[in-house]
Amino acid sequence: MSPSPLRLFVDAQFMSPYAMSVFVALHEKALPHELIGVDLAAQENRQADYQRRSLTGRVPMLEHGSFSLSESSAIVEYLEDVFPPPNHAALYPQQPGDRARARQVQAWLRSDLLPLRDERPTTVIFQQPCDTPLSDSARIAVEHLFEAATALLQDYHLSLFSQWCIADTDLALMLNRLVANGDEVPDRLVQYVQHQWQRSSVLAWVGQSAAVASSLRI
């Protein structure tokens, strides 16, 4: 009996940090999947069929056979449950405390730092930098990010734990909003971002984004 197919719906521009997180998870687990771009500008995510399957009308959305699921952290945890180690690469640390900490980092990055996300959108990473100075509220968010990231990386420097986990991709992307834009970032955090950005799964997403951008310039 053949396994149920996996289909991942992402933003057609390949700039969503949440879609990137799930894309990286699938690549880390070496799970074959079909990749489908959703044109958010044309509101394809608001079409009735997509809304029905995703519930939230957002990207990313994963389809696994007849089951569909949106919200990136839920999808990543689903992939870890359905395709667990040791047969597939682990997305989370094995120790319960470390797993909880990784999930805490993911939840925090998705719910906080809004001024930073607004003023340094992912276009500064995947398209071109922004020369607008950060507002006072964004600077406060940046200070909070630096303090938390420095504390989290105190033990291992280039990863949150002794081995990579999916929260590393999420944290590196948040920091890269500043690094890629040329904003001032502590050297230690720059090294962390550069190290995480060389991961093959991350480079695969960057390649997809670059290919879309190139096609739009033709």
In this predicted model, what pLDDT tens digit does every residue of 129-159 receive, in sequence order?
999 999 999 999 999 999 999 999 999 999 9
What percent of the chain lies above the pLDDT cut of 70? 98
Mean of pLDDT values over 207-211? 91
Predicted local confidence at residue 125, as pLDDT: 97
* Architecture of the domain whose range is 6-89: 3-Layer(aba) Sandwich (3.40)
Mean of pLDDT values over 41-53? 90
Mean of pLDDT values over 34-41? 92
Higher pLDDT, 100 or 40: 100
Predicted local confidence at residue 213, as pLDDT: 77
In this predicted model, what pLDDT tens digit does every residue of 1-35 receive, in sequence order?
357 899 999 999 999 999 999 999 999 999 999 99
As a whole number of angstroms, the distance between CA 19 and CA 62 comes to: 10
As a whole number of angstroms, the distance between CA 17 and CA 63 comes to: 19
Q: How far is CA 65 from CA 13, 33, 51, 140, in A?
A: 25, 11, 17, 44
What is the DSSP code string of 80-139? HHHS-TTTS--SS-SSHHHHHHHHHHHHHHHHS-HHHHHHS-THHHHT----PPPPHHHH
Predicted TM-score (pTM) of this structure: 0.94
As a whole number, the mean pLDDT across the chain is 95
As a whole number of angstroms, the distance between CA 189 and CA 175 comes to: 8
CATH topology of domain 96-201: Glutathione S-transferase Yfyf (Class Pi); Chain A, domain 2 (1.20.1050)
Task: List every span in the chain annotated with CATH 3.40.30.10.
Answer: 6-89
In this predicted model, what pLDDT tens digit does every residue of 187-196 receive, in sequence order?
999 999 999 9
Task: List every span in the chain annotated with CATH 1.20.1050.10.
Answer: 96-201
